[in-house]
């Protein structure tokens, strides 16, 4: 489908429909916000009107001030309540999921609660949203107007004949039709003119989804900014999440080390001790052993076991912390590249060494990504680069393989992403089916 | 002796098979998980089964569970459980009121071939073999430091060996003293700790362990 096809089909998409619905719902919500201050003023006015005579006007004044104070005190609560409605609406219709802000601090007593309400930052942000929703609602009504008026304009040619069959000699005035500018109507006097209305209507309908989207996009931005948890609370939430990930990751790694020791070195050593014990038995306390060949065989097995255990322990130690990392990421990556199953093109340009923890994370990411490439990509060349960009360590691993890497399919990528996030790093993946795959990891130089 | 082995590490399993065959025992089956152990024990009706605690699929305590199940189904078959760690809780589950034909040893003990073979024979014959590590953990828990303080050093050694499931003759051989001396020590220990006199090695083990674990 070409661009023209896409543009002309846009008004029919589900997304456009849902956004229109959101605008429609936004109009009464925006208006209802406008009512809130008027309620306060209304109370004051009612009191003023109900008090006869001039001498009682102070009562009206007091009532007005009380209503105003009440409004200020309750503003954050009202803001939060309406904010929740907006968040739900946005989640339902726009799929824009904004986390709720942290609950306000509870206050004790009437005064305490009033003060808590006044000091409720997220509550005031919600109020700000409601105020900004007013102009937004005006724009949203314009978007709705484009839809509705456009549709009406389309119908002009069909009913023209029904109402314009006046006897000859009678002149009827021109009929107004909507234009894209509300308040400036088109005037249709002839049947041919109805096609102008139709054309204008079609144009308005084509423009309507884009106008809607523009307004909704602005509204989304406001929603995220003002009805979300706020930057600090969001940061706390992120840190809580990444801390949990880091703790889980550390525990999982310890478990893996224990498992490796248990299934590897410990078994080897137990077997080795068993072989030595058996050999000792064969050799006896003193004198010539009855079966020298058997004893020799057992010693041979023990010797082999000792060497295997050494290798096992060396691999395990390297898995915990590769000693070559002490010389810097450059050397460590070069070692990795040299042992990779696929040829690696390495480019390393780090004028200053990142913190050891960052180097370790970068190293293990590179190791895992190289292993992934060797396992899944069918690539003939992998490029690895470690550079510094914008004060961050940038680790790029790309290959010319088949692509289609998907973190959801458990290729260890989501685990890497989590580990990277624990230090506020980011992992970006581009791996379309058919390749190539390119993974970019950004890490701060200091954790 | 007819033996069935359940151990998932192939290297160690093969070593065990050779060790037992070298000593003239018949290894009926050597398997790698709990279900296979139960099936093999059902088929071969061995005198004793050697079982690793941590085996697939969960790598936690399926060996122990299989061993308990085996004891329930075939009380006549001794069960010697091997592990790389000692957990006193596992020992308690394994003994649970009946110390006959049960053993729980660290895998390290296999290196002392003669002692291991002795422990296995004991279990096969309906006796008990508890790892010194289990006993020392119980002794070290300090729950009965007061009662134990009344024992002499020799008596403590005898107590440990008793808890491991050794017979008087075994204790005598291990400490290089006479059987009569062992008997005297045992009587003294039971007196000092206020334990009821127990007939038979297994009951004695249970009495001692119950005291240490209570």
Cα A372 to Cα A338, A377, B34: the distances in Å are: 16, 7, 34
SS3 A167: coil
From chain A, pick out residues whose CB is under 8 angstroms from the CB of B108. Answer: 270, 273
How much of chain B is helix, strand and coil, in % rounded to 5? 55, 15, 30
Flag if A270 and B110 touch (Cβ within 8 Å): yes
- The Cα A44–Cα B175 span in angstroms is 102
Instruction: Give B116→chain A minimum CA distance, Å.
Output: 10
Find residue B100's DSSP bridge partners.
Answer: none
| Domains identified in chain B and CATH numbers | 2-130 (3.40.50.2300), 136-213 (1.10.10.10)
With CB atoms and an 8 Å threshold, state whether A274 touches B19.
Answer: yes
Q: At what angle do helices A191-222 and A121-154 cross, to 10 degrees?
A: 170
Q: What pLDDT is stored for residue A4 in this prediction?
A: 76
Of B12, B15, B113, the CB nearest to A281: B113
pLDDT recorded at residue B14: 94
**Topology annotation, domain A326-444:** Heat Shock Protein 90 (3.30.565)
Interface mutation target, options B60, B87, B111, chain A, most CBs of A under 10 Å = B111
Q: What are phi and psi of B73, to 5 degrees?
A: -75, -40
Task: Say if the Cβ atoms of A273 and B84 lie within 8 Å.
Answer: no
With tokens 């923890």, the residue in question is: A357
pLDDT at A115: 84
Q: Residue A151 pLDDT more than 70?
A: yes
Structure tokens at A310: 């050494």
The mean pLDDT of A320-343, rounded to a whole number, is 91
> Which chain A residues touch B if contact means CB-CB below 8 Å?
259, 262-263, 266-268, 270-271, 273-278, 280-281, 294, 305
Contact B11 A277 (CB under 8 A): no
**A255 band by pLDDT with thresholds 50, 70 and 90:** very high
Higher pLDDT, A168 or B167: B167
Whether B13 and chain A come into contact, CB under 8 Å, resolves to no
Sort out which chain A residues have CB atoms less than 8 A from B113's CB and list them.
274, 277-278, 280-281
What residue spans define the domains of chain A?
10-227, 234-320, 326-444
Interface pTM, i.e. ipTM: 0.87
Q: Which pLDDT score is estimated for A359?
A: 94
> Does B108 contact chain A (CB < 8 Å)?
yes
CB-based contacts of A345, cutoff 8 Å, min separation 6: A381, A382, A383, A384
Mean pLDDT, range A25-43, rounded to an integer: 75
Contact B111 A276 (CB under 8 A): yes
Q: What is the pLDDT of residue B71?
A: 92
The confidence band for A34, taking pLDDT boundaries of 50, 70 and 90, is confident
Which of A148, A167, A147, A162 lies closest to A194, judged by CA? A162
Residue A65 to residues A61, A116, B181, Cα–Cα distance (Å)? 6, 20, 102
Residue A272: φ, ψ to 5°: -60, -45
**Tell me, what's the pLDDT at A282?**
87
Mean pLDDT for chain A?
86
Closest alpha carbon within chain A to B82:
A270
B114 touches chain A (CB under 8 A): yes
Q: What is the pLDDT of residue A95?
A: 87
Q: What is the layout of strands, in order, in the sheet containing A437-444?
A: A344-349, A382-389, A392-399, A437-444, A426-430
Band of residue A63 on the pLDDT scale cut at 50, 70, 90? confident
> CB distance A281–B9 less than 8 Å?
no
Reference A361, options A236, A245, A239; nearest CA is A245
* Total residues belonging to chain B: 214
pLDDT bin (cut points 50, 70, 90) of residue A111 is: confident
A233 vs A23 pLDDT, higher one: A23
Cβ separation of B11 and A263 shorter than 8 Å? no
CB contacts of B109 in chain A (<8 Å) are: none
Distance of CA B85 to the CA centre of its chain: 14
Contact B84 A277 (CB under 8 A): no
pLDDT for residue A386: 95
At residue A240's C-alpha, the angle toward residues A235 and A242, to 5°, is 95
More confident residue, A41 or A159: A159
Asked whether the beta carbons of B73 and B38 are under 8 A apart, the reply is: yes
Give percent of chain A with pLDDT exceeding 70. 94
Give B131-176 pLDDT, tens digit per residue. Answer: 999 888 888 776 777 778 888 999 989 999 998 999 899 999 999 9
Quote the minimal CA–CA distance from B24 to chain A in Å.
13
Does the pLDDT value for residue A50 go beyond 90? no
Task: Please answer yes or no on whether A259 and B54 come within 8 Å at the CB atom.
Answer: no
CA R_g for chain B: 17
Q: Determine the length of chain A.
A: 447
The answer to whether the predicted template modeling score (pTM) of the entire model surpasses 0.90 is: no
Minimum Cα–Cα distance from A270: chain B residue: B108
Query: What residues are paired with A419 via a beta bridge?
Result: none
> Quick one: average pLDDT of A355-383?
92
Is the Cβ–Cβ distance between A420 and A427 less than 8 Å?
yes
Token digits of residue A342: 């696929």
| C-alpha to C-alpha distance for A272 and A33, rounded to whole angstroms | 80
Quickly state the pLDDT bin for A33 (edges 50, 70, 90). confident
- Phi, psi values for residue B105, rounded to 5°: -130, 150
Question: Which pLDDT does position A410 carry in this prediction?
Answer: 66
Q: How confident is the model at residue A237 (pLDDT cuts 50, 70, 90)?
A: confident
pLDDT in tens, A389-438: 988 999 999 999 898 888 777 668 888 888 898 899 999 999 888 889 99
In terms of pLDDT, which residue wins out, A33 or B123?
Answer: B123
Residue among B11, B14, B116, B117 with most chain A CBs within 10 A, to mutate: B11
The first and second tokens of residue A436, run together, are 């190539």
Q: What is the pLDDT of residues B63-116, one digit of tens each?
A: 999 999 999 999 999 999 999 988 888 888 888 868 889 999 999 999 999 999
B16–A274 C-beta distance less than 8 A: yes
- Predicted pLDDT of residue B20: 95
B44-58: average pLDDT: 93
pLDDT, position A440:
95
Q: How confident is the model at residue A55, as a pLDDT? A: 55
- So what's the pLDDT on residue A307? 93
B32 to chain A, any CB pair closer than 8 A? The answer is no
């Amino acid at each position: 489908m070409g661009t023209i096809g896409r543009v002309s089909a846009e008004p029919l998409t589900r997304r456009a429909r849902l956004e229109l619905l959101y605008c429609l719902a936004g109009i009464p919500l925006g208006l209802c916000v406008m009512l809130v201050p008027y309620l306060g003023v209304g109370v004051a006015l009612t009191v003023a009107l109900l008090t006869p005579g001039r001498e009682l006007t102070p009562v009206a004044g007091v009532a007005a001030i009380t209503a105003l104070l009440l409004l200020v005190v309750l503003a954050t609560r009202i803001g939060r309540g309406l904010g929740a409605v907006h968040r739900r609406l946005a989640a339902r219709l726009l799929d824009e999921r904004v986390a709720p802000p942290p609950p306000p601090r509870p206050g004790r007593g009437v005064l305490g609660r009033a003060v808590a309400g006044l000091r409720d930052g997220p509550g005031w942000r919600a109020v700000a949203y409601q105020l900004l929703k007013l102009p937004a609602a005006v724009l949203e009504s314009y978007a709705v107007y484009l839809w509705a008026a456009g549709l009406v304009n389309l119908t002009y040619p069909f009913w023209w004949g029904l109402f314009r069959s006046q006897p000859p000699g009678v002149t009827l005035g021109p009929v107004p039709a909507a234009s894209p500018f509300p308040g400036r109507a088109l005037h249709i006097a002839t049947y041919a003119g109805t096609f102008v209305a139709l054309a204008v209507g079609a144009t308005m309908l084509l423009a309507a989804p884009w106008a809607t989207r523009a307004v909704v996009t602005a509204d989304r931005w406001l929603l995220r900014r003002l009805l979300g948890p706020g930057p600090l609370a969001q940061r706390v939430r992120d840190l809580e999440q990444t801390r949990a990930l880091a703790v889980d990751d550390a525990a999982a790694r310890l478990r893996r080390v224990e498992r490796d020791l248990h299934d590897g070195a410990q078994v080897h050593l137990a077997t080795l001790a068993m072989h030595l014990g058996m050999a000792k038995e064969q050799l006896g306390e003193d004198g010539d052993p009855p079966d020298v060949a058997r004893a020799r065989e057992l010693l041979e097995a023990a010797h082999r076991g000792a060497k295997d255990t050494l290798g096992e322990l060396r691999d395990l130690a390297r898995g915990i912390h590769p000693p070559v990392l002490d010389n810097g990421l450059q050397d460590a990556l070069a070692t990795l590249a040299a042992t990779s199953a696929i040829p690696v093109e390495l480019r390393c340009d780090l004028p200053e060494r990142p913190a050891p923890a960052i180097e370790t994370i970068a190293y293990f990411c590179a190791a895992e990504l190289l292993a992934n490439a060797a396992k899944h990509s069918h690539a003939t060349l992998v490029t690895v680069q470690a550079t510094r960009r914008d004060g961050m360590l940038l680790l790029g691993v790309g290959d010319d393989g088949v692509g289609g890497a998907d973190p959801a399919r458990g290729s260890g990528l989501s685990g890497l992403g989590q580990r990277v996030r624990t230090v506020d790093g980011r992992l970006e993946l581009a791996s379309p089916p058919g390749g190539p795959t390119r993974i970019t990891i950004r890490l701060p130089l200091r954790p | 002796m007819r033996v069935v082995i359940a151990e998932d590490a192939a290297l160690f399993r093969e070593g065990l098979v050779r060790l037992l065959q070298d000593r003239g025992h018949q290894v009926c089956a050597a398997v790698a998980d709990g279900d296979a152990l139960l099936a093999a024990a059902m088929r071969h009706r061995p005198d004793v089964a050697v079982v690793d605690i941590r085996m697939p699929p969960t790598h936690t305590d399926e060996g122990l569970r299989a061993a308990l199940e085996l004891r329930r189904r075939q009380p006549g078959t001794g069960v010697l459980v091997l592990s790389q760690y000692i957990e006193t809780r596992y020992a308690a589950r394994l003994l649970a009121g009946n110390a006959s034909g049960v053993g729980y040893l660290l895998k390290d003990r296999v290196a002392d071939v003669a002692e291991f073979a002795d422990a296995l024979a004991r279990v096969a014959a309906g006796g008990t073999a508890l790892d010194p590590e289990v006993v020392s953990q119980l002794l070290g828990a300090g729950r009965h430091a007061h009662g134990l303080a009344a024992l002499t050093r020799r008596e403590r050694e005898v107590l440990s060996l008793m808890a491991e499931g050794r017979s008087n003759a075994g204790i005598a051989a291990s400490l290089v003293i006479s059987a009569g001396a062992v008997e005297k020590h045992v009587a003294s220990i039971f007196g000092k700790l206020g334990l009821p006199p127990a007939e038979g090695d297994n009951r004695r083990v249970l009495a001692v362990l119950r005291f240490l674990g209570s």
